Structure 1
Amino acid sequence: MSTRREATEEQAIRQILDRIEEDDEISQRDLAAELGVALGMVNAYMKRCVRTGLIKIQQAPRRRYKYYLTPKGFSEKSRLTAQYLRDSFGALRRGLSSFDRLYADLADNDVKRIVLCGDDEMLEMGILGALATGVEVIAVYNPLGPSHEVRGVPAADPANPPEVDRWVLAVLKNGNEALDALREVVDDRLIAMPDVLRLSLLRGNRNQG
C-alpha cells in the first residue's frame, strides 16, 4: 500500500514540477484542478517541494506568487520523468503480452470476431495487439458511457449488436463497474478479458473483502 501511495505522490510532484517549468505564475488552485486533487493536497506537495529544495517561491504583484525550479528541482523532474516513461513502457509491454495470450487462446477456440469494451489506454492496447493475430476487432463499446470510434474501429450499438464471438473487456479503471455494466447487455458466457485485468479484479475484490 505504501509503495502505491509513494508512486502516486511522485507522479503528482512530477506533474507539479512540469507545470511550474511551463508556467511560473500558475496558481495552486489551477494546479489542483489540472491534477484532479484537493487544493489542500497541492498545498502540501508544494510545501514539500520548497522544504526539499526543489522549488523556490517569489512574491508577485496582486498577491500572487511565482514559482521556479531550482537546479535540484530540474534534476528531480528529469529523474521522475525518466521513471514515469520506464513505468509506462513496462505497463505497455505487460498489457500487450496479456492480449497476446488472450488472442492466442481465443483463436484456439475458433473465436475470430470480437468487440473490445472500454474507453482508455487498455482499449487501444487491445486494438494494437489484435493486428498481428487472426482475431478481428469488429467494434468498440464503452460500458460506462458514450461509445465512439477508436483508431478507425466503429462504435457498437448494444441495441443492434454486431455478430461477434466474444465481447472483450479492456479497461484500466473501474473494472468491476464496467464488467457489471457489460453483463447487463451481453451474456456472461460471451465475455472475455486479458489475464492482467482478471488478476487486477481478483486483487481488488480480495481487498474489498
Structure 2
Amino acid sequence: MVGQRSEAQEDLRFRVLRLLQENPEMSQRDIAAAVGISVGGVHYCLNALVEKGMVKLGNFSAANDKRRYAYILTPKGLTEKAALTSRFLKRKMEEYEALKKEIETLQTEVNLGADMASGSRQ
C-alpha cells in the first residue's frame, strides 16, 4: 500500500509540474480541476514543491488581481520533472504491456468460447 501511495504522490507531482511548466499562471482551482483532486490537495502539493525548491512563486503581472501568483519551475524543479517523467513513462509502459497481455488472453478466451458455441450448434 505504501508503494501505491508513493506512486500516486509521485504521479501528482509529475502532473502538477508538467502543468506548471506549460502554464505557470494556472490557478490552484484550475490545477485541481485538471488533475482531479481538491483545491486543498493542490495547495498542499504546491507548498511542498515550493519548500523543496522545485517551484518558486512570482506575481502574475498581467492579472488584474495582484494576489494571483505564477508558479515557476526552478532548475531543480525541471530536473525533478525530467526524473519523474522517466519513472512515470516506465511505469505506464509496464502497465500497458500487462494490459495488452490481459486483452490478448481475454480475446483468446472469447474466440474459444465462440468457436465452442458455434461447434455445438452444428
* Counterpart Cα distance in 2 of 1:26 and 1:103: 43
User: What are the Cα deviations for residues 44-90 of structure 1, in whole angstroms up to 9, with x where unaligned?
Assistant: 00011011111111123421111111111111111111111111111
Residue in 2 aligned with 1:55?
55
Residue in 2 aligned with 1:85?
89
After the TM superposition, which residues 1-209 of structure 1 pair with which residues of structure 2 at under 5 Å, given as runs? 1-61=1-61, 62-109=66-113, 111=114
Partner secondary structure for residue 8 of structure 2: helix
Partner secondary structure for residue 66 of structure 1: strand
* Counterpart Cα distance in 1 of 2:72 and 2:105: 47
Which structure is higher in helix share? 2
TM-score w.r.t. length of structure 2 = 0.83
Offset at residue 12 of structure 1 (A): 1.0
Question: Which protein has greater RCO, CA pairs closer than 8 Å, 6+ apart?
Answer: 2
> Paired residues, what number?
113
Residue identity (%) = 29
Q: Which amino acid aligns with 2:21?
A: E
Q: Which amino acid aligns with 1:20?
A: L
TM-score w.r.t. length of structure 1 = 0.50
* Counterpart Cα distance in 2 of 1:106 and 1:36: 35
RMSD, matched Cα: 1.9
Structure 2: tracts of 5 or more residues without a match: none
Structure 1: tracts of 5 or more residues without a match: 113-163, 166-209
Which structure is higher in strand share? 1
4+ runs of 1 displaced by more than 3 Å? 105-109
Offset at residue 99 of structure 1 (A): 2.1
